[in-house]
Amino acid sequence: MMALKGKGPVFEKMMKTGEKHYKSLCFACHGANGEGTPMAGTQTTLAPPLKGSARVLGKKDTLIKIALHGLAGPVDGKTYPGAMESLASHNDNYLSDVLTYLRNSWGNKAAPITDKDIKSIRKKNRARKTPWTLEELAKK
């Protein structure tokens, strides 16, 4: 993993753990290469690509909100077969590791997300019970 080179042991551990989590859950829809899993016989993928995604590489808060509550509706003008499910049942360390992995894989390069980042957004949005839309996230 070239992404780990020279980043230190904490980052390296986050990336290795995040990769394990990604490969056990996220890859099914987002693909092993972060480009989305193709649906047989169509030009559509099950979920949007994470590679080069503005939401993955942008503000940490946006990505954390999507992970905690899910995402519904069109993404970048495309409608996908299912909504992004909430990952709120996972603990803060799990989420920080997997989101840091997304932000630093497949050519992506962005600051790590800490468990404190997750905890803060989780607390601020604890009353929310429904998935976000991109329109809502753009307003926040």
Give 63-95 pLDDT, tens digit per residue.
Answer: 999 999 999 999 999 999 978 999 999 999 999
For residues 113 and 111, what is the distance between their CA atoms, to the nearest angstrom?
A: 7
Residue 103 has pLDDT above 90, yes or no: yes
CA angle 28, 32, 33 (to 5 degrees): 135
Structure-model confidence comparison of residues 99 and 83, the more confident one: 99
pLDDT band at 8 (very low <50, low <70, confident <90, very high): confident
Range list of H helices, 2-76:
9-21, 27-30, 54-57, 60-69
Q: Which pLDDT band holds residue 2 (cuts at 50, 70, 90)?
A: very low
Q: How far is CA 9 from the centre of its chain?
A: 22
Q: Measured between alpha carbons, how far is 110 from 3 in angstroms, rounded to an integer?
A: 11
